[in-house]
């Protein structure tokens, strides 16, 4: 496994070793020891999630004010542009974002540590998005930050349509009005 820090050093692009031939491919999608070595500490995952979305669906930017979730995310079908935003008030990278294209072909994963907001937009006709979390989903503590907040300035890729948002994500707060994460 190769782990590459991003502009937000805690956020890592994880690239597994992929073994392929005419029959297809094989790779370890997760190895606890290798992952812990990559992030420099023990990380325990408690929940696996799987979502399927159609082209143009934009999910996020989500976070939890209590029980913050670290997320290890990947795509098994299709392609997404995946984004992490540092919303930790005490962080030197507060308000900064990183984005990575995750596809079924590049096998890349993104480690989004607790305390960051996370979201993605689907680039392909459909996408299956899988992620492991370090804490349980807690709807009472979930919050959203507006996907196109000018103070963050995420450069979302052109998808040829308006993003499809949930009602909750349409009502999301701007970064400086959002409930803080310490």
Whether 182 shows a pLDDT value over 80: the answer reads: no
Q: How confident is the model at residue 109 (pLDDT cuts 50, 70, 90)?
A: very high
Please state which of the four CATH numbers 3.20.20.70, 3.40.50.2300, 2.60.120.10, 2.30.40.10 is assigned to the domain occupying 44-177.
2.60.120.10
- Give the sign of the dihedral formed by CA 169, CA 144, CA 136, CA 44: positive
Half-sphere exposure of 83 toward its Cβ, with a 13 Å CA cutoff? 27
Exposure string over 116-140, b if 16+ CB within 10 A, otherwise e: bbbbbbbbbeebbbbbbbbbeeeee
Beta strands 47-54 and 24-26, pairing class: unpaired
The Cβ-side half-sphere exposure at 167, using a 13 Å CA radius, reads 0
d(CA 24, CA 178): 45
Return d(Cα 77, Cα 70) in angstroms, integer. 22
Mean pLDDT of the chain: 96
User: How many degrees, rounded to 5, is the angle at CA 46 between CA 67 and CA 116?
Assistant: 40
DSSP state of 90: T
Q: What is the spatial distance between Cα 149 and Cα 172, in angstroms, rounded to a whole number? A: 10
Domain boundaries, the chain: 44-177
How much is the pLDDT for 180? 81
Tens-digit pLDDT profile for residues 43-61: 999 999 999 999 999 999 9
Using 50, 70 and 90 to split pLDDT, how confident is the model at 12?
A: very high
Nearest CA to 39 out of 119, 103, 130, 134 is that of 134
Residues catalogued as catalytic: 62, 131
């Amino acid at each position: 496994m190769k782990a590459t820090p991003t502009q937000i050093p805690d956020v890592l692009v994880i690239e597994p070793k992929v073994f392929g031939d005419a029959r297809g491919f094989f790779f370890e999608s997760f190895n606890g020891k290798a992952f812990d070595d990559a992030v420099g500490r023990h990380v325990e995952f408690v929940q696996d999630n799987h979502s399927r979305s159609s082209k143009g669906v934009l999910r996020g930017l989500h976070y939890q004010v209590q029980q913050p979730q670290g997320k290890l995310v990947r795509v098994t079908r299709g392609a997404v542009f995946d984004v992490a935003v540092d919303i930790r008030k005490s962080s030197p990278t507060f308000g900064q974002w990183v984005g990575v294209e995750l596809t079924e072909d590049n096998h890349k994963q993104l480690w989004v540590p607790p305390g960051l907001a996370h979201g993605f937009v689907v680039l392909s006709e459909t996408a299956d998005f899988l992620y492991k979390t370090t804490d349980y989903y807690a709807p009472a503590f979930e919050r959203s930050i507006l996907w196109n907040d000018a103070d963050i300035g995420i450069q979302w890729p052109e998808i040829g349509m308006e993003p499809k948002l949930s009602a909750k994500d349409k009502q999301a707060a701007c970064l400086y009005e959002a409930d803080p994460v310490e």
